[in-house]
A and B are shown apart, each in its own frame.
Chain A
Amino acid sequence: MSQSSMNKADFISSIVLTVFGIGVVVESLRLPRLENLNVNSYTVPGIVPGFLGLFLALAGLAILIRSIKRGGWRIRPSIEGSLRWLGTSMVMRTAVTIVITMVYAILLFPNVPFWIATPIFIFAFVVATESMKYGGLPDRKKLLTALVLAIISGILINYVFQDLFFVRLPGG
């Protein structure tokens, strides 16, 4: 990331951090103070998170001021520029990886039997990322080896966790 992009990223992230820090302070103040239990006021549950929130808000503010001084606030979003950025191979690879991994972990892993879900995920991941690498669907040999890899990995991981280490995997 270039210094100018980092300044812009710092500008946005520091606002998020400052708001988050203030939120933590507010929520810490709302935590029970246990007056009914007559507890020592120095041991109330909100004291430590309150201080941490305060530090995060101040640190966020420090980065915000620094990024403003460095011109990070000059953000001119354009549809064209955003589309160009989204179309780069780097962003595409990251996006595809996030989507496929999330589908596996959130939908397949808890709901579908492991020995079915895992080979499907591995095969889909390999095919999708290799398609981007080679600029089209991989050849038949690569597809076949990806399928073999997916099936063997699924069976092997299932065996190691379920049968050797007695972990009951979800998904039936």
Chain B
Amino acid sequence: MDGLISFANSVGAILTSWSALDVVWATLLGIIVGMLPGLTATLGVALLTTLTFKMEADQAILILICMYVGAIYGGSRSAILLNIPGTPANAATALDGFPLARAGKAGSAMAVATTGSVFGGMIGMVALAVIAPVLAEFALSFGAFEFFWLAVFGVLISGQLTSLDDPIKGWIAGFLGLFVATIGQEGIYAVPRFSYGSTDLAGGIGLLPAMVGAFGLAEILTVMRQEAFEAVRSKADSVWAGIREAYKYKFTAIRSGLIGTLMGLIPGVGEDMGSWASYAAARQSSKNKDEFGKGSVEGLLAAESGNNAAVPGALIPVLTLAVPGSAPAAVLLAAMVIHGIRPGPLIMIESPGFVYSVVAMVFLATIAMGVLGLLLTRPLVLVLKVTRERLMPIIFVLCTVGAFAIASRTFDVWVMLFFGIFGFILRELKYPMAPLILGIVLGDILDKSLRRGLVLSDGDLVQFFNRPISMVLWISALLFILLTMPSVRRLLNRIFKRSTKGEAK
């Protein structure tokens, strides 16, 4: 009940102040950022963090959440109209959204995407309100051993789920991120590591410049490398027909919302997997499987409900464990720390109202996204007429100034450039970016937890394995690794086939 009152108070406080205007412009900006290929939600949130770091904490976080929600939704527009996902989270949207647009149903496809996103966002929001306080209380029992395994588990799972074809590349990306986090003065004795006399390196690699590089410059290079996309010439049909159509599949939307939230909850996995997993589940249980990929309203609805539900889902570990559920959530985590908020297991003790403020922010951002998305269907299409040759240089200027603005250090611009080029090469070699970023975030936790754990256990490794929560985490991580090995999968297949044959006899 207290939570509901805090939530209502936060909604009231935002709506009766200038912050209401922030909700509108930041969500609209988020939709535009998401729509433009080459601009991702992560980059949008990172660039806005650099612009808002002198604001009050609540106002800044509100703006960033609106940008995050808007961008994940906005990516559906370019996926539907251009067959180019505006953000990686909208890749599954394009599978059915684009065929619908080609069939002259662009307007209703956009309405289905909007309805699905609102549905998903609301389900994720309820999950955030319900799960976050429980998880925070549970996380109070986490010690050095548990946090060590949480970091290992996060990097391995994120690496695996973001690189399903080749999990080892996902793990390498994650461990490279963990290594990057060890550069600079370490947190126990302040010994500079891998800095070779450079005071800049001794200060460590900033998460935000690295992210602006990996998601900004690397994306600019990827977009410029590809062939140009054609400006859209699609006439939008009725939006309202799409809403009615989406309502027919309300159960698909609810299931996708739950799957999306779960995917958001898992460290470093986020919206992309939220969308794909929801899409796969919808296809599996659909009566019209054949329509998937050819313009299925159900598929489109599932993909969009899944990715927007993952947004609040990804905020749950941010608030309760200080572990990001996705790449944009990692920026939000960094922004919270910049603004003096301390996410983690103590959040419900130190600032219980903040969790419900975040729930209220997600709620208002989702409403704004739905209203703006439906009302501005036609004007927003104009955004897609901007050519990459004219957009990308402006984005690069924002990346450069954004990287510099955080600490007024030219060194951060070098960091941005390095991660931009390095990120581009890694992407070309099919190494995912999300585990790299998660590794940078979790590196400090892993470093301190392992060393503290070793001191507490006096070098006895058994204690890392025999505590209940640690056991769950390391066994899950081990199972995940084993299941990716082709030889193990072949063996399991053989065992299952044999047992089914035995039963049949």
Contacts and interface: CB of A to CB of B under 8 A. Distances in A.
Interface in A42-80: 42-43, 45-49, 52-53, 55-56, 59-60, 62-63
Given A161-B405, A165-B405, A125 B189 contact: no
Interface in B151-178: 168-169, 171-172, 175-176, 178
B396 A43 contact: no
Given A47-B451, A56-B175, A126-B389, A105 B400 contact: yes
A157 B390 contact: no
A153 B224 CA distance: 20
A48 B224 contact: no
Contacts of B396: 101, 104-105, 121, 125
Contacts of A13: 429
Contacts of A34: 189, 191
Interface in A1-18: 1, 6, 9-10, 13, 17
Interface string B399-414: 0110011001010010
A60 B175 CA distance: 12
A59 to B, nearest CB: 5
Interface in B245-271: none
Contacts of A146: 390
Interface in B174-214: 175-176, 178-179, 182, 186, 188-189, 191, 193-194
Contacts, number: 150
A94 B224 contact: yes
A170 interface: yes
B421 interface: yes
B492 interface: no
Contact of A93 (B168, B188, B224, B408): B224
Given A110-B410, A129-B389, A45 B193 contact: yes
B20 interface: no
Interface in B363-410: 389-390, 392-394, 396-398, 400-401, 404-405, 408, 410
Interface in A79-133: 90, 93-94, 97-98, 100-102, 104-106, 109-110, 114, 118, 121-122, 125-126, 129-130, 133
A110 B390 CA distance: 23
Residue picked from A48, A97, A98, A160, most chain B C-beta under 10 Å: A48
B294 interface: no
B171 A59 contact: yes
A1 B177 CA distance: 25
Interface string A2-43: 000010011001000100000010010001101001011011
A137 interface: no
B421 A98 contact: yes
Contacts of A144: none
Contact of B51 (A39, A100, A125, A165): A165
B352 interface: no
A59 B168 contact: yes
B489 interface: no
A10 B429 contact: yes
Nearest to B421: A98
10 contacts: A6-B430, A37-B189, A42-B459, A43-B452, A49-B193, A52-B175, A101-B396, A105-B400, A122-B393, A125-B389
Interface of B: 51, 54, 168-169, 171-172, 175-176, 178-179, 182, 186, 188-189, 191, 193-194, 217, 220-221, 224-228, 389-390, 392-394, 396-398, 400-401, 404-405, 408, 410, 413, 416-417, 421, 428-430, 446-447, 450-452, 454-455, 458-459
Interface of A: 1, 6, 9-10, 13, 17, 24, 27, 31-32, 34, 37, 39-40, 42-43, 45-49, 52-53, 55-56, 59-60, 62-63, 90, 93-94, 97-98, 100-102, 104-106, 109-110, 114, 118, 121-122, 125-126, 129-130, 133, 146, 149, 153, 157, 160-161, 165-170
Given A56-B172, A63-B169, A169-B401, 9 more contacts: A42-B451, A42-B455, A43-B454, A45-B193, A59-B168, A59-B175, A105-B400, A122-B394, A129-B392
